[in-house]
Structure 1
């Protein structure tokens, strides 16, 4: 489930692109490329099975794409009449039943089968930073700038506020059944917690602010990464560290994360155009690619909003350049 802390990435992109773009290995050109946003995208996510994507852009609103046919399924709108109301966070449930979209002040739940909205809500007090949705739209997760994470049960409207952070939330994720959540913030902490009780299950400490967290939909792993040097894979059943990602840069920032279905590899995207394939067993980078940048931006850059395993032979990406791209996996 491809979720992002898009607000920070958009701010750091030009600086990161300048310093990091030229010092990384790159893979081959994409097998195919499709334009999904004419002048770039503000947010995008790809379903875990790589059959759907949802893209937000100023000219097209929110567009839902069938990635197998490269066909537009639906076009949605969520207060996209000003720059302050653009959708900047999107998530698709693991079973592709629903999508959740959010701008800074509101969020909306959409039924992907019917194309209809199932609700629209405004938040109080602080801005939305990241979101997640469970299967069938049963549960919603909203990470906020005041350090709280709100878990919503759609059946009865129950709201649980998780107060385990002391500073703003940067990233959240949730298992498909909605029972376990993970959140990371500027307090250098990533928490795994029970959404029914608010009880912390594991607390993962980092040396700097936690910028990205993710859960393996099959419940095997958790991923946490900070803004300086640590990107870790944890055993979700025991809380034990399994592996650190190994890279030679002083730092790598991640904008998307997905675990492979067989649990042996990790796919990451970055705000420096970079996609990387990692071995979970060793922490080594197996291969990397660079998505197509927008031609009208200098230095040429793009944020990888989402990357997913299409099958055993290829992966697919959506980026801020407005392109979906298909890439060949190594043999």
Structure 2
């Protein structure tokens, strides 16, 4: 029985989709790292590389957080909120000058002196802290809180400077939406927030004025200023990662390995969607590395979002395929990328 015109078109469409899927799957390769280390026995909820490229702070599950020296691969400091009771570190961060580190255990923040490893201040908030960013010198904090707000906090004066909210207008909701992610600009003047209202927003931290709003198609899970402060990177869950100009507010690039228009009809196909969980910027500002929850790392040209290569990190257990890339960093010479994984493994990769 001859096929109908409709059936023939469906087959052609499915065949085209299959070819696209094959071309995408061929883009990411299995690679072997130049070096590999174990930084956690039980895995971690959070990790971060210091801006000076010398250390990585890993928040072990049910163990103290550990600051690892990347050159010697030895623990320099072991940190926890209460010396006699190890809690799970839920988030970690550094000041841009790499002089202050922060560990978060649910509602408690401790700021640590990187020079001697001693605690500088302990802060307890009434609600759970979802994400934290430090000002360039560590004297201010921007916090995403479980109560649907982001708080800009003055550590020296021990006071809240601003409270930011994401109203539900973008998702047609009468209530404020959860804020998931935050960042502070390199000059300390501006803040980024990303939330369940599908938007990333930029604020003046002193006045509280909203300066930019960027719309996405899903909950925004990651925001970041580049080290020069000229661009913003934002990513939504199961959506595309985008680069925006701070000055104009316009989109600079979309970070995607898809061979089709990601904003077209095939852009919503699941294979073209990816969540970004980590970002690193090369020392010269020309390249961006992204980490994803499917154990994938990609390197891009920052100017136009061109994909230069993607590869998979190793699994700790072959039966556990999900490996979240928690943190990335370029080496000082820009020729290698360090990765820290949620399964406790760390690697160094040579960029091809």
TM-score by length of 2: 0.81
Can you give the 5+ residue segments of structure 1 that lack an aligned partner in the other structure?
1-21
The corresponding residue for 2:154 is 153
1:277·1:288 contact (CA, 8 Å) conserved in 2? Answer: yes
The corresponding residue for 1:45 is 48
The corresponding residue for 1:300 is 321
* More relative contact order, 1 or 2 (CA 8 Å, 6+ apart): 1
Does residue 1:132 correspond to 2:133, yes or no? Answer: yes
Pick which of 297-306 and 101-110 moved more.
Answer: 297-306
2:283·2:334 contact (CA, 8 Å) conserved in 1? Answer: no
Q: Distance in 1 between matches of 2:272 and 2:148?
A: 28
1:89 to 74, 88, 91: 91
The corresponding residue for 2:265 is none
Q: Distance in 2 between matches of 1:171 and 1:42?
A: 15
The corresponding residue for 1:118 is 120
Q: Distance in 1 between matches of 2:91 and 2:296?
A: 20
4+ residue runs of structure 1 moved beyond 3 angstroms?
A: 79-83
Pick which of 132-141 and 303-312 moved more.
Answer: 132-141
Q: Distance in 1 between matches of 2:241 and 2:84?
A: 38
Write out aligned runs for 1:1-331 (5 A).
Answer: 25-58=28-61, 60-79=63-82, 85-124=87-126, 126-165=127-166, 166-248=176-258, 249-295=271-317, 298-310=319-331, 311-330=333-352
CA-CA distance at 1:312 after TM superposition: 2.2
Larger Rg computed on CA atoms: 2
Give the length in aligned residue pairs.
307
1:74·1:115 contact (CA, 8 Å) conserved in 2? Answer: yes
Q: Distance in 2 between matches of 1:86 and 1:319?
A: 16
TM-score by length of 1: 0.86
Q: List per-residue Cα deviations over 1:20-46 (Å, max 9, x = no partner).
A: xx7761252100011111232222111
What is the SS of the residue equivalent to 1:26?
Answer: strand
Q: Distance in 1 between matches of 2:124 and 2:319?
A: 36
What is the SS of the residue equivalent to 2:137?
Answer: helix
CA-CA distance at 1:236 after TM superposition: 1.8
Q: CA RMSD in A?
A: 2.2
CA-CA distance at 1:72 after TM superposition: 1.3
